[in-house]
């Protein structure tokens, strides 16, 4: 890995000389784009996906579906209004090999799809992908009638021997380590002969907004889904078998990827406008409006989009982040620059993300002079004067953007492998320097 210049290069994080004022067009949501690709591939008719995110994770998803026989044509939408992908479902088939990279959505959402293919589908990926939990999906699919070879690892690499159909029905899983286990089964559930009834039996369930996103998107293309919120049993989701409609879907901006830009306004006392911020959304990033307001900012949804303004001071926060864990690195970066301590709770599952994010944040902030301690499921951050240095990213896009936020307020921060931001936020360095007017 060290031979790749993108991994060894140090990016000088721009230092803000004053308040940042900018309008930032945030690219589309990875979570929405990859769910939409899966659902369109399983639909009974072609559909359009407008303003999709083009990033490493979404290209991996599109290429994986193409390998299994799905047609995905990239171009301009039918009315000429910007980039759109035409998804043309066809008979899923193997043999095929899927590269999941280190994308949780690809490694978890596609094995259920592969059970519907005729023939074997092999899944492989980056070395880190071998360490990320997949047992919940593998065990559940076996219980529903699938044949999977994983040499007993409960992880990648593996081969799904698709039989063209899956019986489906009720299944129990422990999704404590990732809500994606639930979403994976729900997305393909309408195509199973009996649909699927997913019963979560674990002690906790992180990232519930992502399950609500899955349910909303299923319903939008004709699936019948019963959920705990709609009067069903707690921790049980039922998807009825049936055809999915080909639809014209527009991807929302990725609100979690708006985080570093909103943080820029907060830590510099400036103002950032993010156009097209949705009034109603299931994206976890929408919580930023509340969290960053409590930390010293103010925001307003206007015709221009979300206008977020920093007050010139940053306050610590004691906050439960179990449902929105992906926001933790950016919040930790802001908290390290605050005027009082912070505690970020309920984020034990972050140890299983692209890297162990709690350990990584503790190490990197402390090496810049910070005072961060970690417990099993929390980070405790006591602000101290920070100094420059190298901020390592561990091939984790959200570590890279967290380092960039610190660099706004701390001179001479250099970020190792900023190119890892391409996983979900293409052209981040250009967006960041453009925001600063550089």
What is the 3-state secondary structure of the chain? CCCCHHHHCEEECCCCCCCCEEECCCCECHHHHHHHHHHHHHCCCCEEEECCCCCHHHHHHHHHHHHCCCEEEEEECCCCCCEEEEEECCCCECCEEEECCCCHHHHHHHHHHHCCCEEEEEEECCHHHHHCCCHHHHHHHHHCCCCEECCCCCCCCEEEEEECCCCCEEEEECCCCCCHHHHHHHHHHHHCCCCEEEEECCCCCCCHHHHHHHHHHHHHCCCCEECHHHCCCCCEEEECCCCCCCCEEECCECCHHHHHHHHHHHHHCCEEEECCCCCCCCCHHHHHHHHHHHCCEEEEEECCEEEEEECCCCCCCEEECHHHHHHHHHHHHHHCCCCCCEEEECCHHHHHCCCCHHHHHHHHHHHCCCEEEECCCCEEEECCCCCCEEECCCCCHHHHHHHHHHHHHCCCEEEECHHHHHHCCCCHHHHHHHHCCC
Whether 44 is in a domain gets the answer yes
Residues 24, 34, single domain; the answer is: no
- Ligand-binding annotation for 326, yes or no, is yes
The pair of structure tokens assigned to 327 is: 């926001």
Structure tokens at 224: 């019948």
357 is in an annotated binding site: yes
Contacts of 434 (CB under 8 A, 6+ apart): 22, 24
Q: Which two tokens stand for residue 75?
A: 């171009």
Question: What's the burial of 151, exposed, middle or buried (CB within 10 Å: 0-12/13-18/19+)?
Answer: exposed
Tokens describing residue 352: 């299983």
pLDDT in tens, 243-275: 999 999 989 999 999 999 999 999 999 999 999
Are 279 and 198 in the same domain? no
Residue 39 lies in a domain: yes
Is 178 annotated as a binding-site member? yes
Confidence at residue 150, expressed as pLDDT on a 0 to 100 scale:
97
Split at pLDDT 50, 70, 90, the class of 3 is: very low
104 is in an annotated binding site: yes
Q: Does 207 show up as a binding residue in the annotation?
A: yes
Which of 209, 232, 250 marks a domain boundary?
A: 250
Residues 72 and 58 in one domain: yes
| pLDDT score for 302 | 94
Q: How far is CA 339 from CA 254, 317, 372, in A?
A: 29, 10, 14
Last-in-domain residue among 225, 250, 275: 250
Would 4 be classed as within a structural domain?
no
Residue 153: strand pairing partners: none
Q: What is the pLDDT of residue 354?
A: 60
Query: Is 30 known to sit in a ligand binding site?
Result: yes
Examine the domain organization and report whether 18 and 74 are in the same domain: no
The pLDDT mean for the chain works out to 94
User: Which of the residues are catalytic?
Assistant: 326
* 427 Cβ neighbours under 8 A, 6+ residues apart: none
The tens digit of pLDDT for each residue in 192-216 reads 999 999 999 998 888 888 999 999 9
Quick: pLDDT tens for 354-376. Answer: 668 999 999 999 999 999 999 98
Please tell me whether residues 228 and 342 are part of one structural domain: no
Is 142 annotated among the ligand-binding residues? no
Shared domain for 86 and 122, answered yes or no, is: yes
Give a yes or no: residue 1 inside a domain. Answer: no
The C-alpha atoms of residue 298 and residue 271 are separated, in whole angstroms, by: 10
Q: Same structural domain for residues 173 and 284?
A: no
Q: Which residue has the higher pLDDT, 411 or 437?
A: 411
Residue 5 in any domain: the answer is no
Residue 180, CA distances (Å) to 31, 134, 413, 418 in order: 11, 9, 34, 26
Q: Pick from 199, 225, 250: which residue ends a domain?
A: 250
% of the chain at pLDDT higher than 90 = 84
Specify the pLDDT at position 411: 98
Q: What is the CATH number of the domain that holds 104?
A: 3.65.10.10
423 annotated to bind ligand: yes
Confidence of residue 1 (pLDDT cuts 50, 70, 90): very low
Residue 162: phi and psi, rounded to 5, are -70, 140
- Whether residue 35 is annotated as binding a ligand: the answer is yes
Same-domain check for residues 45 and 189: yes
User: Does pLDDT of 321 surpass 60?
Assistant: yes
Number of domains, the chain: 2
Say whether both 124 and 79 belong to one domain: yes
pLDDT tens digits along 269-292: 999 999 999 999 999 899 999 999
- The pLDDT, as a whole number, for residue 76 is 83
Res. 57 pLDDT band, cuts 50 70 90: very high
**Residue 5 clears pLDDT 60, i.e. is over it:** no
Residue 179 among known ligand-binding residues: yes
Residues 230 and 375 occupy one common structural domain: no
Do 75 and 216 have their domain in common? Answer: yes
How does pLDDT run across 59-82, given as a tens digit for each residue? 999 999 999 999 999 988 777 767
Q: What is the pLDDT of residue 2?
A: 38
Question: Which tokens hold the place of 172?
Answer: 């129990």
Specify if 125 maps to a domain.
Answer: yes
Domain of residue 370: give its range: 10-28+253-436
Bridge partner residues of 368 (DSSP): none
> Is residue 2 in a domain?
no
- Quote the pLDDT of residue 7: 55
Are 108 and 165 within one domain? yes
The verdict on residue 424 lying in a domain is yes
Average pLDDT over residues 155-178: 96
Instruction: Please give the average per-residue pLDDT across 127-131, as a whole number.
Output: 92
């Amino acid at each position: 890995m060290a031979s790749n210049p993108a991994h060894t290069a140090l990016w000088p994080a721009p230092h803000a000389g004053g308040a940042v004022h900018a309008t930032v067009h945030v690219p589309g949501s990875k979570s929405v784009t990859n769910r939409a690709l899966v659902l369109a591939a399983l639909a009974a008719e072609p559909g359009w996906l407008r303003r999709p995110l083009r990033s490493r994770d979404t290209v991996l998803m599109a290429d994986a579906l193409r390998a299994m026989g799905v047609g995905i044509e990239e171009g301009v939408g039918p009315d000429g209004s910007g980039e759109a992908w035409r998804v043309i479902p066809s008979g899923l088939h193997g043999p095929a090999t899927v590269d999941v990279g280190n994308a949780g959505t690809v490694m978890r959402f596609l094995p259920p799809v592969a059970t519907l293919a005729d023939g074997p589908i092999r899944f492989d990926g980056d070395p880190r992908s071998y360490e990320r939990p997949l047992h919940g999906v593998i065990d559940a699919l076996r219980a529903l009638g699938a044949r999977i070879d994983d040499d007993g690892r409960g992880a990648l690499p593996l081969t799904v021997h698709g039989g063209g159909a899956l019986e489906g029905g009720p299944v129990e899983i422990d999704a404590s380590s990732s809500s994606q286990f639930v979403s994976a089964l729900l997305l393909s559930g309408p195509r199973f002969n009996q649909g699927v009834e997913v019963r979560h039996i674990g002690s906790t369930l992180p990232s519930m907004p992502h399950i609500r996103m899955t349910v909303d998107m299923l319903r939008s293309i004709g699936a019948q889904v019963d959920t705990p919120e709609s009067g069903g049993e707690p921790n049980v989701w039922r998807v009825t078998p049936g055809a999915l409609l080909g639809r014209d879907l527009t991807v929302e901006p990725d609100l979690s990827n708006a985080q570093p830009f909103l943080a820029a306004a907060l830590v510099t006392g400036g103002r950032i406008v993010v156009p097209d911020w949705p009034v109603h959304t299931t994206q976890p990033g929408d919580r930023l409006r509340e969290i960053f307001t409590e930390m010293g900012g103010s925001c307003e949804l206007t015709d221009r989009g979300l206008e977020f303004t920093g007050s010139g001071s940053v306050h610590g926060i004691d906050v439960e982040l179990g449902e929105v864990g992906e926001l933790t690195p950016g919040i930790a970066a802001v908290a390290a620059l605050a005027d009082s301590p912070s505690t970020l709770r309920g984020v034990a599952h972050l140890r299983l993300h692209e890297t162990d994010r709690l350990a990584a944040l503790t190490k990197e902030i402390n090496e810049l002079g910070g005072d961060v301690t970690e417990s099993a499921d929390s980070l405790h951050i006591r602000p101290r004067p920070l100094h420059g240095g190298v901020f390592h990213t561990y091939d984790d896009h959200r570590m890279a953007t967290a380092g960039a936020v610190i660099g706004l307020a701390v001179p001479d921060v250099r970020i190792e492998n900023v190119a890892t931001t391409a996983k979900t936020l293409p052209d981040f360095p250009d967006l960041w320097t453009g925001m600063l007017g550089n």
